[in-house]
Amino acid sequence: MTETEKEQRRYALAISGGVCEVCGRPLRDGQPQGAHRIGNTQTNRAKYGDFVIDHRFNIGMTCSLKCNGALDISRDIGAVIRLCARIYAAEAQKYEVKK
């Protein structure tokens, strides 16, 4: 696992509150996984770019493989667009000039 991937998972764990984002079960009761909201596939990487797929907002914490699959929003284009917009808005703030 790369340092970037470790950072993504630390961020996801921190905002999850220690519970699965799908079922609410405590993460310590299962096998915690960092799950991609927009699936980590070659097709999605080509469509949305590595920047979106690897962004910390695209990772959520789940307790199991079943919940990992349930977190995937790849088929809900509206949800994907909203997540992409959130990612770009957050990143754009880093470059705003304060007056």
Distance of alpha carbon 17 from alpha carbon 3, whole angstroms = 22
**Gyration radius (Cα) of the chain, Å:** 14
- The DSSP code for 61 is E
Q: What is the pLDDT of residue 75?
A: 94
Cα 68 to its chain centre, rounded Å, is 11
Distance of alpha carbon 48 from alpha carbon 14, whole angstroms = 25
pTM: 0.82
22-76: pLDDT as tens digits? 999 998 876 788 899 999 999 999 999 999 999 989 999 999 999 999 999 999 9
Distance of alpha carbon 79 from alpha carbon 70, whole angstroms = 13
Distance of alpha carbon 51 from alpha carbon 28, whole angstroms = 30
Distance of alpha carbon 68 from alpha carbon 87, whole angstroms = 20
Q: What is the pLDDT of residue 15?
A: 82
Confidence of residue 16 (pLDDT cuts 50, 70, 90): confident
